[in-house]
Structure 1
């Protein structure tokens, strides 16, 4: 093979590495809120703040939100979405902790029924990521079926409660989601290149990274599962599917917001510019 013949391959590899670099950098920018929350978890694990750890994390979460809003990193509307996710997360936390699904072993005054108020920020971080990703990747969704997605997202959230006394139908809901998302694509930009991926794949990827984040959170002692009381061990892989399902409700909320903002559906003219990969 001559040097001349290898040049297209090298250019191709260089272009792919450039896109990968842009993807990683943009993802990190979308994760600023989440990274800051986990940094606060690490600091409060290592340093005594002089108040209960969970109280310190609540103060940190409020401060992070305020700074991101004040600097313009998060818009007022996005802060509203973060607050909504915080409340949804607290509702789930109150129920799950009462059922013994997991616990918060540290101390804090700002707690309700064993659930620290800071815990909602972990769900808020998901909302922040979705809002940031929509803006920074210039996301557009095609083939989206709003009504089935909303119904299934509510069913997935409800199943986290009802499976404690009824059948657990998460796998049935997951299959129905795959059907509802058939031929639904997420179109996104990396620099001047337009790419796409199936929406179902995006959910699985987000669920995987949330599972990794949960491992970090439990390792830092921010909360723990019953099998982690004696010593830390990795969170069961089954939680990956749970996170993927929970993300669907987060996505539907943000998607509805973006739809009313007029940026949800791609215009016919935009589709001609989408790079098929």
Structure 2
């Protein structure tokens, strides 16, 4: 795992100082304060992992509220240039490595291809302004998928993710490929999303994700983790459509909440995201479990 940035180190250092004071004072409330500290650190690190998407969403909201309508630079072009600047700063300040940037660029390409198709068939639409675009798709749209990729690669090492009974990667790749194809093919043939959802449950159902927040490691069924992230993206999508960065057909006459049906689409998209990141960071078992480096080392010592 790569070294922490100054922000992450500061979060842990401040939490350590706080808990050391709590322990030194003693008292029955120490356990609850320790748990609350773990929760606060979890929230802070999650927010830090979302920095790409949060900054991009902040720019989208700012454009909706304050960008002048008669500006020489179209709002969509401003969003694209802002997204490029955020991405450059992420690399310059070493919040992302060049290795991670490759998979984030792949997210960008995969997302842009889907955007080109989906806008063509009328699934959603963008304002027709600006020159930094491919057809009806402004280039900033790909950065929204890249923001998901950025979160995935950052949370992987930020929480030192480990996986118990992670499925074989070639199997997950087949499921992800089926999901991606279905995003296109369901416009012409049967929609297999429920079949694909069943496949995801079958493939990942036994997998448990282990993660370190601060002092302790926790565990969670990976399917629940997928659902929570998809729910968070769905909330962000509601903000994006309210900002009129893009609109679904039922929002053209006036904004309304994004259909909850989109939550399933984001859940399935999560599988594509996880598979792409798994080719950068190979999923490893928890420390001390059978097959992990520490378990192998311990076995050799016993021999």
TM-score of the two chains, using structure 1 as the length reference: 0.90
Larger Rg: 2
Taking a change above 3 Å as real, the CA distance of residues 110 and 268 of structure 1, as seen in their structure-2 partners, is closer
Q: Which position in structure 1 is the counterpart of 2:232?
A: 209
SS in 2 for 1:21: helix
- From 26, 33, 37, the equivalent of 2:45 is 26
What is the distance in 1 between the residues matched to 2:227 and 2:280? 22
Is 2:98 the partner of 1:79?
A: no
Q: Which position in structure 1 is the counterpart of 2:144?
A: 122
SS in 2 for 1:237: coil
1:267 Cα deviation from its structure 2 partner:
5.7
Q: Please give the root-mean-square deviation of Cα atoms over the aligned residues, in Å.
A: 1.7
1:81 Cα deviation from its structure 2 partner:
1.6
1:194 Cα deviation from its structure 2 partner:
0.5
What is the distance in 2 between the residues matched to 1:268 and 1:37? 36
Deviates more, 1:41-50 or 1:156-165: 41-50
SS in 2 for 1:102: coil
Deviates more, 1:197-206 or 1:106-115: 106-115
Is the 1:53–1:106 Cα contact (8 Å) retained in structure 2? no
SS in 1 for 2:281: helix
What are structure 2's unaligned runs of at least 5 residues? 1-26, 295-303
SS in 2 for 1:187: strand
Is 2:150 the partner of 1:110?
A: no
SS in 2 for 1:105: coil
SS in 2 for 1:231: coil
1:270 Cα deviation from its structure 2 partner:
5.6
Is 2:37 the partner of 1:14?
A: no
Is 2:110 the partner of 1:91?
A: no
C-alpha offsets along residues 61-111 of structure 1, whole Å, 9 cap, x if unaligned?
110011110111111112212111110000000000000000002511112
What is the distance in 1 between the residues matched to 2:124 and 2:263? 16
Q: Which position in structure 1 is the counterpart of 2:80?
A: 58
SS in 2 for 1:25: helix
- From 115, 128, 132, the equivalent of 2:154 is 132
